[in-house]
Structure 1
Amino acid sequence: MTQAYVVRFVGGPLDGRVDSHAKAPDEPKPTVTHVHLHGGPKIVHHYDLRYAVEYGCEYHLRTEGDDAP
């Protein structure tokens, strides 16, 4: 049995979300953009890829002082 490839989100509105995939992608996206539209202005969050030995990879919320990868 193969182990699922797990992607975790850390910080922001997706904090704690865990996505499971049958296999690791050939090239994971370096940045994931989440657009929040619920009942107000559009809010955009960027999550940058970091590898995690235990999980596969994690996307961490980019903070204001961080540079884009």
Structure 2
Amino acid sequence: MAQPYVVRYVGGPLDGRVDSLPATPEDPRQTVTYVHLHSGPKIVHIYDLSYAVEYGCEYRLRADEI
């Protein structure tokens, strides 16, 4: 049985989130935008793709977002 492809999120509101995909995506997205909507202003967080040899890839909160 093949191992699932694991995507982790580092930093920001998605910190610690882990998604499992059935297979390695052919063309993973280079950035992920997370929009937080609530009763106040819209908050946008941008995550950039980086590869992690151990488990797949991870999206790290963009440095200028910290």
Mapping 1:37-48, distance limit 5 Å: 37-48=37-48
The TM-score, its normalising length taken from structure 2, stands at 0.93
Query: Which residues of structure 2 form unaligned runs of 5+?
Result: none
* Residue number in structure 2 paired with 1:32: 32
1:40 CA displacement = 1.5
Higher helix proportion: 2
* Residue number in structure 1 paired with 2:8: 8
Give the CA RMSD over aligned residues. 1.1
The TM-score, its normalising length taken from structure 1, stands at 0.89
Residues paired across the two proteins, number? 65
Aligned sequence identity (%): 71
